[in-house]
Structure 1
Amino acid sequence: MVTNNDRIAELAVAIRNHGRKGDRVEDKFTFPWIGFNAKMNSMEAIVGLGALDHLDAYIERRRKNYRMLRDGLGVDLLPDANGAKIAHHCFPILFKSREMRDRILAAIFETGIECRRLYSSLPTEEESYRHLGYKHGDFPVAEDLSGRGLFLPIHQNLTDEDIEYMISAIQPLLL
């Protein structure tokens, strides 16, 4: 994770260490947040450190892929706001209805282009959350977006040709 926000950094460090507040003696066994312990092993650290050397290029490539899809498809859900620069992980599209989304999602899938539903693991839709007692309607905004949206890939391994193929295959479906 990369951030220039001290509060976010503090929270991230705490969450990765069982939610522990800090390393000062008075904080050592204070757990104000729910967290976990998922520290990397040495091999994962080596790979991660190597990837950091390419981080700026990866982010720029993802931004370029996002811009190409935005311009080619005529869809833009996430404009940069207030001078912020988004490091996109995917390209979201929202449709007027679940039926329209499902039809287009199936058609895109048939072209061989990776795609998936937007927010496909809501507590109201997943067996693993059933024990929490949530029911349809408890998260109306998330349920609406999840039901009408899909994600397209924009990862750094996609070439201009890949993005151009995506545009040519998907654009007719959006008309």
Structure 2
Amino acid sequence: MNIPLIDLQAQYNSLAEKLDKAALGVLSSANYIMGKTVIDFEKDFANFIGVKHAISVGNGTDALVISLKAMGIGEGDEVITTPFTFFATAETISAVGATPVFVDVDKETFNIDVTKIEEKITSKTKAIMPVHIFGQSADMDEINEIAKKHNLYVIEDACQAVGGKYKGRKIGTLGDVACFSFFPTKNLGCAGDGGIIVTDNDEIATIIRALRTHGSGENGQKAYNLLNNIEEEVKTAEGANDTVYNPLKYYNYLIGYNSRLDAIQAAILSVKLKEIDSWNSKRREIVELYNKALQNSDLVTPIAKDCNEHVYHMYILQSENREEVLAKLKEAGIATGVYYPVPLHLQKVYKNLGYKEGDMPVSEYLSHRTFAIPVYPELTKEQVDYIIQNLK
């Protein structure tokens, strides 16, 4: 039996007719950039999360960059985050000219250790960027309390956690802004790149909308006026078509980006959004089977805190003999993944920050022990049983 780590073909097959219809609908409409399909998805996603604004962008990395930029974070600033995450979390901080300041993680949840945040705050600190790693919320009450005390922004990197909850509240409603990725392997994935930023802050939302399209047009003018305390009538272009011709796009007010969610991707995501709660529930059912079967084994199973509703973007096990376990699973046709083999503070690109081995002991410990096994909702009972049998 061969079981992939994530089976995108199986997911497509389960929704093929609806996905094809949605994609072909956009193709036949010839409205490929922004437009009704994108606007409708943004509204649906905002309602799903429970926020006022959802602004779609080209990918999750752009979501983080644009959020940081919209908050005025840049050269000389510092942003506190975790080293046990995908590179984009820290990369985006560097991309706007700021410096990532790493705080080690909790050994049980893999999320940023809130007891170690405050000691890293300086006069240059402008924000805290917790990552809801693998689909479980960070300790947001404590993070928000620290942020409020020191007048800092909170940016949720929720790229792995769509649909998750913290103390009954949806991930994405717990900071000033939150960023999601729709990379195909995510719990809610499109057929390419995609991302979205959510917020309840009207001013930040206006600036984000301007930044995603070259700082131009109606949103560019609104953002410019807002940032410069100008009150004037904002130009509008009724019936403009962003795919063919919008006269206002040639009036620029901010230095922005070209980062938009394609209409085809929005159509695909609209179909999948209706399934995400049931998909996440299925992931949790599979996790229960894994946890029960492995409770007396040498493998360390992941811990979900009682206050969290984990969505298990990845199911992460720990082993003192990781390479041996991975080799045995590969031999059995079961795909695995190692997340993350090198913590960010030890990546060569950040050598200039002066971190050394031993500075983040928990992250380093986990980097040598953790690995992922399949947990996607399309797994059959036969496949789950086979995985368990081989693990045991």
Match of 2:306 in 1: 81
Higher normalized strand content (fraction of residues): 2
Aligned residue identity for 1:6: T
Please give the TM-score of this superposition, normalised by the length of structure 1.
Answer: 0.73
Name the CA shift for 1:135/1:4 in 2 (closer, same or farther; >3 Å).
closer
Deviation at 1:163, TM superposition (A): 0.5
Higher normalized helix content (fraction of residues): 1
Match of 2:376 in 1: 155
The correspondence for 1:54, drawn from 264, 275, 283, is 275
State the distance in 2 between where 1:54 and 1:110 align.
Answer: 33
Match of 2:178 in 1: 12
Name the CA shift for 1:127/1:43 in 2 (closer, same or farther; >3 Å).
farther
User: How big is each residue's C-alpha offset from its partner over 1:93-118, in whole Å with a ceiling of 9 and x where there is no partner?
Assistant: 122x3xx1111122112211111223
Match of 1:33 in 2: none
Larger Rg: 2
Match of 1:118 in 2: 339
Q: How does 1:65-144 map to 2 (within 5 A)?
A: 65-74=286-295, 76-82=301-307, 84-95=308-319, 97=320, 100-124=321-345, 126-130=347-351, 134-144=355-365
RMSD, aligned α-carbons: 3.1
Deviation at 1:122, TM superposition (A): 2.1
Deviation at 1:129, TM superposition (A): 4.6
The correspondence for 1:23, drawn from 190, 193, 206, is 206
Deviation at 1:130, TM superposition (A): 4.9
User: How big is each residue's C-alpha offset from its partner over 1:18-60, in whole Å with a ceiling of 9 and x where there is no partner?
Assistant: xx83427679559xxxxx8754211111111110111121011
Q: How many residues align?
A: 158
Match of 2:366 in 1: 145
Please give the TM-score of this superposition, normalised by the length of structure 2.
Answer: 0.35
Deviation at 1:126, TM superposition (A): 4.3
State the distance in 2 between where 1:146 and 1:121 align.
Answer: 6
* Worse-superposed segment, 125-134 or 114-123: 125-134
Name the CA shift for 1:144/1:39 in 2 (closer, same or farther; >3 Å).
farther
Name the CA shift for 1:101/1:69 in 2 (closer, same or farther; >3 Å).
same
| Runs of 4+ residues deviating >6 angstroms | none
State the distance in 2 between where 1:112 and 1:127 align.
Answer: 33
**Secondary structure of the corresponding residue to residue 43 of structure 1:** helix
Structure 1: unaligned runs, 5 residues or longer: 31-35
State the distance in 1 between where 2:346 and 2:278 align.
Answer: 37
The correspondence for 1:41, drawn from 244, 251, 262, is 262
Deviation at 1:157, TM superposition (A): 1.5
